[in-house]
Chains A and B, each alone.
Chain A
């Protein structure tokens, strides 16, 4: 009975990892511009536009209101359109990234908002364009906080993959439900949870370490 457990877990973990990486990349591609835009269109910022700001804020809030499992169902047609199927890890990455993007946008917004206004003003006084301010001031100055935010997003997406697993995405979540829950295989349940715990710890540890590394120079006293 136990011989099949290891390869099964390995495949499951591989699928989970694949979903997490793919969805995170897609969520960053969607969420980063969204988060940046929300910040720079806010009142008094470099591309002030109250109307656009309100629209973006509303879009983010609405997308974030959907329970993830509902989001998956709603986005089934989109998954079929983009990937050709509604089953499997790649298809699951569609709702995963769309659900994670607005969440990530809010995290990015919070990080970028922490950048001192004086720094932005100094750059404006030197003739910087809004794009230069984003690339050379906001993002580098908020980098360690952005890394921590991304860590949080990766962990949240990992949690989402388990939900996606329940309705055909594969991965460890799917194993836990199909074997652990439906067939009373406590060993499978235990092993999947253990792997997820270790994985999340690892992600958090790496994120903390990277953020500290970025921060070290900036706050080292000499």
Chain B
């Protein structure tokens, strides 16, 4: 379970400061796929990066599985991060390492013995369907395959939570679909809690159980996806819904 309580984050720029996050309070239950949607600049990325403190919040607290992330000292934070997987929009794989080497990376950092690493890497590559690419370099892979490596790397060290920072935004619709299927599959098989941010309604629709809408740093609406979709209370959500039905409608009308 993830509990976010009155999280605030301000950015100070030469032209003044602005609130990236304003009193964000959220709860994510264990085993949920929780989507956070918002327009660009809404603070989604800041929010998800606060969860493993790639960004430091100014105030408020984050508790993941009983451990207060916001209160950890540097070395404790490093240990906690080993149990929080993260995937990225631009994959962020190491180009100098093969697929196998990339997936082994977090296990090396955690100090696993070589034999154990080899075994685990093979197991997890099988899970994401990339066993035949173990010896390839990232440059030889498609975007979808790269994200599968990213997912395998994030899962290697048995995390309790997976953070997805716009993981499908750089992918085409078909690839997005297959990556989301993989995430849903992992969520079912491993009971892994997934928090994802996106600006695409289709992502929320396809795999999320719960959704929160972020607008200019504030949560303007949250709840089960069905409920929010059938009776949106925020202007932002209505706008998102209008857009996605408009697109569907124009397709059906031709």
User: Which A residues form the contact surface with B (CB < 8 A)?
Assistant: 116, 118-119, 121-129, 132, 136-137, 140-141, 143, 214, 217-222
Chain B residues with Cβ below 8 Å from A129 are: 78
- Whether the Cβ atoms of B79 and A127 lie closer than 8 Å is yes
- Whether the Cβ atoms of B82 and A126 lie closer than 8 Å is yes
Q: Which of A127, A136, A222 has the most CB of B within 10 A?
A: A127
- Whether the Cβ atoms of B88 and A124 lie closer than 8 Å is no
CB nearest to B79 among chain A residues: A127
CB nearest to A125 among chain B residues: B86
B246 at the interface (CB under 8 A from A): no
Contact of A221 among B54, B79, B106, B140 (CB under 8 A): B140
A143 to B92, CA, bound (A): 17
Chain A residues with Cβ below 8 Å from B153 are: 126
Answer whether A128 and B86 are a contact pair too, CB < 8 Å, given A118-B92, A119-B94.
no
Chain A residues with Cβ below 8 Å from B84 are: 125
A127 to B79, CA, bound (A): 6
CB nearest to B84 among chain A residues: A125
A123 to B86, CA, bound (A): 10
Starting from the known contacts A124-B54, A137-B94, 17 additional A-B residue pairs (CB-CB under 8 Å) come to A119-B93, A119-B94, A121-B92, A124-B81, A125-B54, A125-B84, A125-B86, A126-B81, A126-B82, A126-B106, A127-B106, A128-B109, A136-B105, A140-B96, A143-B96, A221-B140, A222-B139
Total residues of chain B contacting the partner, CB 8 A: 32
Q: Which of A123, A132, A141, A218 has the most CB of B within 10 A?
A: A218
Chain A residues with Cβ below 8 Å from B202 are: none
Chain A residues with Cβ below 8 Å from B95 are: 141, 218-219
Contact of A122 among B86, B137, B139 (CB under 8 A): B86
- Whether the Cβ atoms of B139 and A219 lie closer than 8 Å is yes
- Whether the Cβ atoms of A221 and B139 lie closer than 8 Å is yes
Interface digits, B196-216 against A, CB 8 Å rule (1 contact, 0 not)?
A: 000000000000000000000
Q: List 20 A-B contacts (CB under 8 A).
A: A118-B92, A119-B92, A119-B93, A121-B88, A121-B92, A125-B81, A125-B86, A126-B86, A127-B82, A129-B78, A132-B109, A136-B109, A217-B139, A218-B95, A218-B137, A218-B138, A220-B140, A221-B139, A222-B139, A222-B141
CB nearest to A132 among chain B residues: B109
Chain A residues with Cβ below 8 Å from B138 are: 218
Answer whether A127 and B109 are a contact pair too, CB < 8 Å, given A121-B54, A122-B88.
yes
B110 at the interface (CB under 8 A from A): yes
B88 CB to closest chain A CB (Å) equals 6
A94 CB to closest chain B CB (Å) equals 35
B137 CB to closest chain A CB (Å) equals 5
Answer whether A218 and B81 are a contact pair too, CB < 8 Å, given A125-B54, A126-B105.
no
Interface residues of B in 48-92 (CB under 8 A from A): 52, 54, 77-82, 84, 86, 88, 90, 92
A126 CB to closest chain B CB (Å) equals 4
A118 to B109, CA, bound (A): 17
- Whether the Cβ atoms of A122 and B108 lie closer than 8 Å is no
Q: Which of A121, A126, A137 has the most CB of B within 10 A?
A: A126
Chain B residues with Cβ below 8 Å from A126 are: 81-82, 86, 105-106, 109, 153, 157
